[in-house]
Amino acid sequence: MTPADRAPGIDRRSAIRGLAAIGIGTTTGAFAHGFLYGRQDVEITRETLTVSGLPPSLSGLRLGFLSDTHRSRTVAHELIDRAVRMLLAEQPDLIVLGGDYVTWGDRRYVEPAAEALAPLTAPHGVFAVLGNHDDDRDMPAALAARGFTVLRDQRTQAIIRGEKLEIAGIRYWTRQVNDLAYVLRGATPNLMLLAHTPARLVEASALGVPLVLSGHTHGGQIVLPGIGAIAARKYPIIAGAGRRKNTAAFVTRGIGTVYVPVRLNCPPEVAILTLKPVDFG
């Protein structure tokens, strides 16, 4: 048989090269979309959390939750401003901020980060904790200057509908059960814990904390089809609502990005959380 008699086709090497080219093109296209659009497309997530021990009078209490703004060279004021305006339009009863307002403690962006958040206001206050990217002096001072309550291994109270809601906030580096127990000592059962990392859910559950709110994971930031969020697998909850024993938790995907300015299958998020008591009926 001469070459002219052979049926046209593609040899194995050419097929592999073709498939590789398709894979590279698809990956490049996905990351380009994540850079141009995915990291800018802020969503509102509305979630109802069932909280043990929540008084019936606080049923329906709405929390606005923002975290991980990461104001930096690659996270612009406009993105945070959009998230702030979306949250304010929801008119929550109380607002919580989950930390990592800048990236790598870059002091050039401390004031811009705080200024972007400055419009936030709610009837029962705005409460904040720090993340692992925030310094322990300039960032809390900038937030406090905007009227926010910054909790660093501290507790405070909000009186809502005649009930005391205790709000505790811990530093990223407060990890031991004994240290967390010290912050919570004397707290009433009507308690909410702000912890930048969801890794603290383990200790909070051991101490019987009813509700934990966290950020830090970015929801994985890059979530691959069929594989998931590789970068955040070590956490008990990567994103969204979850539970450990009697402790309800919510982990927000946050607003900004870190390491690479890309979000893939994981859009930035403003969370509106509605609390309701456990129904024993």
**pLDDT tens over the chain, length 281 residues:** 444 444 444 565 544 343 333 344 444 454 454 444 579 999 999 999 999 999 999 999 999 999 999 999 999 999 999 999 999 999 999 999 999 999 999 999 999 999 999 999 999 999 999 999 999 999 999 999 999 999 999 999 999 999 999 999 999 999 999 999 999 999 999 999 999 999 999 999 999 999 999 999 999 999 999 899 988 889 999 999 999 999 999 999 999 999 999 999 999 999 999 999 987 54
Per-residue confidence (pLDDT) for residue 19, from 0 to 100: 33
Per-residue confidence (pLDDT) for residue 34, from 0 to 100: 46
Per-residue confidence (pLDDT) for residue 202, from 0 to 100: 97
Per-residue confidence (pLDDT) for residue 279, from 0 to 100: 75
Count CA atoms closer than 13 A to 104's CA, side-chain side.
Answer: 5
Per-residue confidence (pLDDT) for residue 154, from 0 to 100: 98
Closest CA to 253 of 95, 72, 100, 86: 100
Q: How far apart are CA 24 and CA 46, in angstroms?
A: 36
Per-residue confidence (pLDDT) for residue 107, from 0 to 100: 96
Q: How far apart are CA 211 and CA 191, in angstroms?
A: 7
> Coil, strand or helix: which one is 268?
coil
Per-residue confidence (pLDDT) for residue 24, from 0 to 100: 42
CB proximity list for 237: less than 8 A, separation 6 or greater: 198, 201, 214, 249, 251
Q: How far apart are CA 89 and CA 108, in angstroms?
A: 29
Per-residue confidence (pLDDT) for residue 32, from 0 to 100: 52
Chain position carrying tokens 């559950």: 205
Per-residue confidence (pLDDT) for residue 230, from 0 to 100: 83
Q: How far apart are CA 42 and CA 46, in angstroms?
A: 13
